Structure 1
Amino acid sequence: MSNEDLRTAADAVLARLVGGPTSEPAGTRQDGTRPDGTRPDGTRPDGPRLREDQWRAIEALVAEKRRALVVQRTGWGKSAVYFVATALLRERGSGPTVIVSPLLALMRNQVESAARAGIRARTINSSNTEEWETIQAEVAAGEVDVLLVSPERLNNPEFRDQVLPELAAATGLLVVDEAHCISDWGHDFRPDYRRLRTMLADLPPGVPVLATTATANARVTADVAEQLGTGGGSDALVLRGPLDRESLSLAVLELPNAAHRLAWLADHLDDLPGSGIIYTLTVAAAEEVTAYLSHRGHTVASYTGKTENADRQQAEEDLLANRVKALVATSALGMGFDKPDLGFVVHLGSPSSPIAYYQQVGRAGRGVEHAEVLLLPGKEDTAIWNYFASLAFPPEEQVRRTLDVLAQAGRPVSLPALEPLVELRRSRLETMLKVLDVDGAVRRVKGGWVSTGAPWMYDTERYAWVAKQRQAEQQAMREYAATTGCRMEFLRRQLDDEEAVPCGRCDNCAGGRFNDRVSATALETARGELARPGVDVEPRKMWPTGLAAVGMTLKGRIPPGEQASPGRALGRLSDIGWGNRLRPMLAPQAPDGPVPDDVTKAVVEVLADWAKGPGGWAAGGADSGPRPVGVVTMASRSKPQLIQSLGARIAEIGRLPLLGSLEYTADAEVAHVPRSNSAQRLRALDGALTVPPALAAALREADGPVLLVDDATETGWTLAVGARMLRQAGAKGVLPLVLAVQG
């Protein structure tokens, strides 16, 4: 087939992808078109045609069997490249295309897009485990044109050792979508992606490879190319286009506080075109905003990492069908969600990176002439950025400890068994192990993880450089919000777009389209929503597994007579209401001092609502719990004045005796293990607290439960251990009361 014929065939596939005719009417005209105006291949003379760079990529993949890296803006048509290439390669007898794709939403969109072109696509991911065997049989029988695989599958031992080699041998085209995830210089590094090196090495000679992304600056592009084996002296094709989005009108609106931002959304959401996405930085904020906007009569839904898969899919479908005005989402709704007519994207709080911001706003305006993009930055943004930055690759001593434990075990160690032996939470531990796996220091096998014994160096310079880059990106987001120049040009330059010029559309180029006015009613209700105190604190009911590994005999269910009761907190540090008030007050560097009056007043409101609520001691009825008869405070090395004064104020206002305080023992070495796992936290608490004799005597005499007062809870184990000790000392019950839930 000549290149001209190949181009014609490619345009025909494109026509089917975008909904063109798939059957051929009888008869043709003298100009070669059929009675309905289409060519014999199904395209129209004025119909959809591939962009030149799309065609160049397809030509490289199909005719030249090369490797290509395509860095193009969202909406440019990167998926068209691999679907068209797949159809042409399959016609030539090639094996199925394997697409490594990061998100379920993206997979669902791509399966539907493929079907329009007559391409049979299936997926293997965490949500359809019951279908894996059937799908693998269909692939082996040649019944699947496209197999979409989540990157996590690449490091599953069974998939890696049994399925992946056969898949690599049969693959006709390998596609790495959202390829910036490979690079730890990028904004969304995922170590699972780096397992692609193994698959690339196992591909037969001549199998084409396509990597695509919309969000990569020059450094990330070079890193991705190198890791995919498409850099250096190879003949890889790199296509990098301008990143302007002609349909997007960018704007920033500075508002005084969180209440004004919520009120603005309530007053102006219906003025925004079509339906869209409201991004927040945390799950708590997404839930707050959803509740408030729903209360104000807007049809919205929440979409976060905590949303059940079925609910996520329903939310996506509702947005696609315009049954909701907006999804209020975290970054869980990110790469690949495809709604061409999405009319707006609003950010309630700044993402920490211009690249991440560009990626998220790129959801809008893909199939419409105009879409609004608005950033509403918040004072809490920096604190939230710093929290997520603190979860980066662990310090060397923690990594070495993990390697030593695995080496000494001499056998596979599961995550639950490994977790108690290192001071890392499971999610962070797993991410670290995946990086070490790619580096060759450990290997995931059936039953857990093993040490390979290979030498490994902690790349201090690289990790420090990545951290420095993160700080630079945060500063760039501050500059984006403050700039008086073109906002689209600013973002394009952050992505090293050499063709960046003023857009003529943003608020700085064309004048502001939004004012900061909010109605008194919306502002009053927003303040009320954010000021409403009270968050449930669920008690721990089971001891974590693996405590024997740290010398503790506790296991199984915590006996009911030693458990805390459900408790209450004033707010969450991650929300935009009380979180903004409590965060600076409870920060490690904040000075200690008496509890402020406004905080005391809010805590009293929490207690009043708690008393009247289900199970509350003032509710009445059979479900009413007993009224607290005293107050106990928790020992603190960092905020003793705050906690003691809070306990004293509660006792005074509630006319309850202040019974005393749990105290640290004389030889207690640690008061807090920050962001550690449950076993390590319990090990640190073991023997660190004591019930003074006077407090024990008061507990035995008290005829009812006591309030246990602390400043904050993160893992819940300090409250659990404190409650157990108070119950063992004679307390009839323990009701935890804290200022904040961390997270």
Structure 2
Amino acid sequence: MTSAASTDTREAARAALRELVGRSDADFHDGQYEAIEALVEGRRRALVVQRTGWGKSAVYFVATLLLRRQGAGPTVLVSPLLALMRDQIAAAERAGVRAVAINSTNAHEWTDVLGQLDRDEVDVLLVSPERLNNPAFREQQLPALVRRIGMLVVDEAHCISDWGHDFRPDYRRLRDLIAQMPADVPVLATTATANSRVVADVAEQLGSLQAGGDLRGDAGAEPVLTIRGPLARTSLRLGVLRLRDSASRLAWLLSHLDDLPGSGIIYTLTVAAAVDTARLLRDHGHDVRAYTGQTDTEERAESEGMLKRNEVKALVATSALGMGFDKPDLGFVLHLGAPSSPVAYYQQVGRAGRASESADVLLLPGIEDRDIWHYFATASMPDRERAERVIGALGDAPISTPALEAMVDIRRTPLELLLKVLDVDGAVRRVQGGWVATGEPWTYDAERYERIAAERLAEQQHMIEYEQTDGCRMEFLQRSLDDDTAAPCGRCDNCAGGWFPREIGESASTQAAESLDRVGIPIEPRRAWPTGADRLEVPVKGRIPADEQAGEGRALARLTDLGWGGALREIFAAGAPDTAVTPQLLQACIRVLAGWGWEQRPVAVVAMPSRSHPLLVDSLARGLADVGRLPYLGALDPVAGGPTGGPGGNSVFRLAGLWDRFSAQHLEVPPGPVLLVDDLVDSRWTMTVAARVLRQAGATQVLPFALALRG
């Protein structure tokens, strides 16, 4: 029997929903009110797993309004992306919900926001997961906020999972926040992308698993209500088109981009692929923009707005464009290369067809996909030896990240990620002025990381199976996400036949081949020595003197490039034999030199003394010298056995391993520019140190050249 109070709650909730969506006839989808009732009436914990567009934000905004009317404090909404925060604040305003954010872009507004909180003028406070561990916020604002919090909402909760641990480790600290909150504060976690494993991972972080697998809150509390809806997207028309190589995929795109409905997103697996693809399409008349994690924040916001207003045909994007981008009428999503799991793929294709009857989703997988998956998976996993090195370097006195970098030989980005993981594990702590060791015992959780690695391999295999299945593709995705309502969609290429053209125009093939054959990537010279070099007995600091600097160099291509990157990846693959440069590679390198545009032609060629590819480097240097009719002076001499260490370390340690390890004493270096040849450029410190040696030996300029640029 329905109580009067429950009826009143439903009516109040329905009125708030109608205000939110601006429609007087709006009513709840299946599961929406059940979640609201559990939060408002039962003060329970709820996990909502529903497809994009179902209305998860309506649940927490309506619940917030009802809780506030009951005298509860503000809702704290943990949200992962700034773009998502912007959309959430706009949606809140439509519902009469007073929402404000504290994030890295509005530090100048924090005092005003805190004043609004003190005056109880805020209904929803949006914070990033990283903000929870900001020392000032954690110590000065968070305790008072925890005492007053009315509800905690964790948006995009799959980021809690091990699937996303390398994306936002700070999500894992939410368990500590929940432990500090009063027991009757409701908690809502929402996501559109979760299989059973991810749900279990969320359970592990938000609470614990009781017998039978129900998610529990505090001991003795009711199990968390899990509301899981069907994930089928009836508007999406899925397809897979397997083509023989990158040139064919780009040629297909050139031929048929304008045939795709409306405007959309073209996803790539790497930054280089996004930039190169966008350039090719623009060069041949298509209105597109590149969108990656390296794109300026202002340019990203501008590009998002242009796509929403249909002012571009597509954004060519990495996974940087995903959560937080909301364009209900997005016409298509196309992938040049497959994401590494059905979970990731579903999350990205879910951007399309949210408020339209039809949207096209097409995957063009590549033979290089597995190599790219492997690279990103291994690059993000914490390493025991590195972790122990960081913990051992820290003590009671705060050490800044740059200073720590100079102590532990780990580059900045992986060091910052590792510090976050160790912080969440309780081994280190971020304080004002840097990082300290907590002194708490820490053990490398090898079993956990082995499990993550095995699960990722399994999900990669599922993605291969998605590409190869002859069954319904939407049904396959649903089953991969453990959706027991999965059934044939009747729309995908396997259900209804191929809906996309397969032919490729001859001119498009030529244009794609020419684009992939483009050569010449700038190698920017180092201009300053790394901070902290003197700690490793390298007597330099500040700017590199102008008469010791290298000039701007060139590489044939990046290892991640769609064109020459494939051939270069084979050369530098683990275990590949050292062989002389092929005629094709040599001719490509000659084209790089022909288009360089240097002010003064080189007067000689010098090679680096390569440890891994001596035959390759020597043959390349000799070949360039012969074609250019330049004297080949030979290779620099290694001193005391040559450089120590290897690629992958940070700048200070890399420089220390190279310092005073090269000599040009036996070379008769003429005055003028010298072409300095190597195989692979990574940190650029090898070229920097070698150029300094050649400049001191008499070269007026050093022009670095390499086959490949990492990245």
Same topology, TM > 0.5: yes
Find the partner of 2:5 among 2, 7, 15: 2
Does 1:694 find its partner at 2:662? no
Q: How does 1:73-472 map to 2 (within 5 A)?
A: 73-186=51-164, 189-229=167-207, 231-232=209-210, 233=216, 234-235=221-222, 236-407=224-395, 410-472=396-458
Q: Given the superposition, is the C-alpha separation of residues 118 and 367 from structure 1 closer, same or farther in structure 2, using an over 3 Å criterion?
A: same
Per-residue deviation, residues 6-59 of structure 1 (Å, max 9, x unmatched): 112212222222222xxxxxxxxxxxxxxxxxxxxxx3xxx2211131110000
Q: How many angstroms apart in 1 are the aligned matches of 2:93 and 2:380?
A: 40
Q: How many angstroms apart in 2 are the aligned matches of 1:325 and 1:593?
A: 45
2:20 aligned partner: 17
> Equivalent residue of 2:596, what SS?
helix
Does 1:67 find its partner at 2:45? yes
Per-residue deviation, residues 619-639 of structure 1 (Å, max 9, x unmatched): xxxxxx222100011111111
Q: Given the superposition, is the C-alpha separation of residues 704 and 668 from structure 1 closer, same or farther in structure 2, using an over 3 Å criterion?
A: closer
Q: How many angstroms apart in 2 are the aligned matches of 1:95 and 1:727?
A: 67
Q: Given the superposition, is the C-alpha separation of residues 506 and 288 from structure 1 closer, same or farther in structure 2, using an over 3 Å criterion?
A: same
Contact 1:678 1:715 (8 Å CA) reproduced: yes
2:618 aligned partner: 644
Using the TM superposition, name which of 233-242 and 485-494 deviates more. 233-242
Does 1:629 find its partner at 2:603? yes
Per-residue deviation, residues 417-443 of structure 1 (Å, max 9, x unmatched): 001221321111111111111111111
**Letter matched to residue 447 of structure 1:** G
1:519 aligned partner: 505
Contact 1:187 1:353 (8 Å CA) reproduced: no
Per-residue deviation, residues 646-684 of structure 1 (Å, max 9, x unmatched): 1001000001011111232343463x5232211121122
Does 1:731 find its partner at 2:699? yes
Contact 2:529 2:542 (8 Å CA) reproduced: yes
**Letter matched to residue 200 of structure 2:** A
Q: How many angstroms apart in 1 are the aligned matches of 2:99 and 2:585?
A: 56
> Equivalent residue of 1:542, what SS?
coil
Using the TM superposition, name which of 212-221 and 444-453 deviates more. 212-221
Using the TM superposition, name which of 189-198 and 65-74 deviates more. 189-198
Contact 2:166 2:417 (8 Å CA) reproduced: no
> Equivalent residue of 1:244, what SS?
coil
> Equivalent residue of 1:52, what SS?
coil
2:26 aligned partner: 48
1:36 aligned partner: none
**Letter matched to residue 426 of structure 1:** R
Shift of the alpha carbon at 1:577?
1.7
Shift of the alpha carbon at 1:95?
1.6
Shift of the alpha carbon at 1:361?
0.6
Find the partner of 1:587 among 573, 576, 586: 573
Does 1:682 find its partner at 2:655? yes
**Letter matched to residue 314 of structure 2:** A
Q: How does 1:563-582 map to 2 (within 5 A)?
A: 563-582=549-568
Q: Given the superposition, is the C-alpha separation of residues 166 and 416 from structure 1 closer, same or farther in structure 2, using an over 3 Å criterion?
A: same
Contact 1:182 1:189 (8 Å CA) reproduced: no
2:678 aligned partner: 710
Shift of the alpha carbon at 1:515?
2.6
Using the TM superposition, name which of 726-735 and 196-205 deviates more. 196-205
Find the partner of 1:547 among 529, 533, 544: 533
> Equivalent residue of 2:335, what SS?
strand
Q: How many angstroms apart in 1 are the aligned matches of 2:383 and 2:291?
A: 33
**Letter matched to residue 165 of structure 1:** P
**Letter matched to residue 676 of structure 1:** G
**Letter matched to residue 59 of structure 1:** E
Q: How many angstroms apart in 2 are the aligned matches of 1:301 and 1:87?
A: 40
Contact 1:68 1:230 (8 Å CA) reproduced: no
2:213 aligned partner: none
Q: CA RMSD in A?
A: 1.6
Q: How many angstroms apart in 2 are the aligned matches of 1:449 and 1:338?
A: 37
> Equivalent residue of 2:595, what SS?
helix
Using the TM superposition, name which of 134-143 and 314-323 deviates more. 134-143
Q: Given the superposition, is the C-alpha separation of residues 290 and 427 from structure 1 closer, same or farther in structure 2, using an over 3 Å criterion?
A: same
Unaligned runs of 5+ in 1: 21-42, 617-624
**Letter matched to residue 537 of structure 2:** G
Shift of the alpha carbon at 1:468?
1.6
Contact 1:58 1:82 (8 Å CA) reproduced: yes
Q: How many angstroms apart in 2 are the aligned matches of 1:727 and 1:390?
A: 39
Shift of the alpha carbon at 1:388?
1.0
> Equivalent residue of 1:610, what SS?
coil
> Equivalent residue of 1:694, what SS?
coil
Contact 2:331 2:353 (8 Å CA) reproduced: yes
Per-residue deviation, residues 82-136 of structure 1 (Å, max 9, x unmatched): 1111122222222221111111111111111111112122222222222222222
Find the partner of 1:720 among 688, 692, 711: 688
Contact 2:553 2:705 (8 Å CA) reproduced: yes
Contact 2:528 2:541 (8 Å CA) reproduced: yes
Q: Given the superposition, is the C-alpha separation of residues 669 and 292 from structure 1 closer, same or farther in structure 2, using an over 3 Å criterion?
A: closer
Q: How many angstroms apart in 2 are the aligned matches of 1:178 and 1:111?
A: 16
Shift of the alpha carbon at 1:689?
2.7
Contact 1:261 1:348 (8 Å CA) reproduced: yes
1:25 aligned partner: none
Unaligned runs of 5+ in 2: 211-215
Does 1:610 find its partner at 2:603? no
**Letter matched to residue 740 of structure 1:** A
Q: How many angstroms apart in 1 are the aligned matches of 2:11 and 2:190?
A: 24
> Equivalent residue of 1:317, what SS?
helix
**Letter matched to residue 677 of structure 2:** V
Using the TM superposition, name which of 661-670 and 344-353 deviates more. 661-670
**Letter matched to residue 741 of structure 1:** L
**Letter matched to residue 61 of structure 2:** F
> Equivalent residue of 2:266, what SS?
strand
Q: How many angstroms apart in 2 are the aligned matches of 1:264 and 1:517?
A: 7
Identity %: 59
Contact 1:164 1:199 (8 Å CA) reproduced: no
> Equivalent residue of 1:627, what SS?
coil
2:632 aligned partner: 658
Q: How many angstroms apart in 2 are the aligned matches of 1:166 and 1:294?
A: 52
Per-residue deviation, residues 282-304 of structure 1 (Å, max 9, x unmatched): 11111111111112211111111
> Equivalent residue of 1:382, what SS?
helix
Q: How many residues align?
A: 698
Q: How many angstroms apart in 2 are the aligned matches of 1:274 and 1:188?
A: 34
Contact 2:51 2:230 (8 Å CA) reproduced: yes
TM-score, reference length from structure 2: 0.96
Per-residue deviation, residues 474-505 of structure 1 (Å, max 9, x unmatched): 22212211111111122122212222222222
